[in-house]
Amino acid sequence: MVHWLRIITSRLADSKATSASTKPLYTACRGQGHRTSRPLSCKRSQYTHVKDVSTTQRPSGRRTVAYRGQQEPKQVTQIGGLKSAVQARTRDWRSLFATMNSSHADLINSLRQTERLTDKTAQTMLQVDRKYFLDPDNLEVLHHAYQDHPVPIGYGETISAPHMHAEALRLLEDHCPPGASVLDVGSGSGYLTGCFGIMVGDDGQVLGVEKHKELALRSMQSLQQAVPDLMKKDIIKIMPGNVLGKVLGQYGPFDAIHVGAAAASMPQNLIQKLKPGGRMVIPVGQQNAMQVLKLVDKDEQGKVHERDLMGVAYVPLTEPGTDPFVGKDEE
């Protein structure tokens, strides 16, 4: 505390000794010495745009970064502000460690707390353990199985963050009752394919299409471990291929379609594969650009209605013959 009082007192003395035309604005708490920082206890509106940065020589011989702007802050940060800043950062760290889940059940419970899950979606996800769907050859990512963020699975793809899986299931759960047919495009790791299998039950059918043959084979092995009964009953089928090509052929139409990769534009062949009364969830947009998660509903008369939901970031849904990981003969 004494140390901080000395710093603030010294800086106030420096500011008084400086002429009005070049009067520096000192940061008195978090970020001291960092050119883009500002006190946590000061509102953003208290500062105008900083035009340049200079340094002054303090009596002690230490160099202090000073910010010259268009106006001074409306108030001087006091010791109470420093205490608030420390407390705020402590809360941030506690929040971070609170999200480090140690089990699949912990992961689902943490998603419940964010109100992202309905009861049906939560019960479904609890039955499909995420740990089976990571790359078994990449030991560095295995400890991320129960964390809420995407994880690389090879071939330029990722398994989506659990909250995005939860969002997709929530949006489609009313269209995936027992006996429904579901298409999972870009099924990747196979996690959501397994969840859809739980939802549609013994009388339903889920088709996952994955353009990378090796990843499709690995996802079937993952599903054998996670939901063996569904695989034995042939409720779930994984097929290698590209849905923008001719791979769907005689398959469909479907009650629900989930697309796990961003299409450059709305794929009309997928809309055609949607049953009247069906629903599709699909991200649309160019890679490394603005992508939007869209909800596509086809009413009983066959009219299509689109709605934008949120901004997202997905791997691209590539055209046949354009993916470096996939041979042309596989598409």
Tokens of 123: 């019960």
Q: Do residues 328 and 322 touch, judged by C-beta distance below 8 A? A: no
Q: What angle do CA 125, 128, 129 make, to 5 degrees?
A: 105
Rounded Cα distance between 215 and 132, Å, is 13
Rounded Cα distance between 217 and 199, Å, is 23
Which segments of 90-223 are extended strands (E)?
A: 151-154, 157-159, 181-185, 205-210
Residues 6+ apart with CB under 8 A from 86: none
Q: Do residues 210 and 240 touch, judged by C-beta distance below 8 A? A: yes
Residues 6+ apart with CB under 8 A from 55: 63, 64, 65, 66
Q: What is the DSSP string of 110-126?
A: HHHHTT---HHHHHHHH
Rounded Cα distance between 146 and 110, Å, is 10
What phi and psi values does residue 155 have, to the nearest 5 degrees?
60, 30
Rounded Cα distance between 30 and 39, Å, is 6
Strand partners, 157: 154
160 included as an active-site residue = yes
Q: 317: burial class by Cβ within 10 Å (0-12, 13-18, 19+)?
A: buried
Which of 110, 160, 181, 219 is catalytic? The answer is 160
In three-state form (DSSP H/G/I as H, E/B as E, the rest C), the secondary structure along 31-65 is CCCCCCCCCCCCCHHHCCCCCEEEEEECCCCCEEE
How remote is the C-alpha of 212 from its chain's centroid?
Answer: 22
Q: Which residues are catalytic?
A: 160
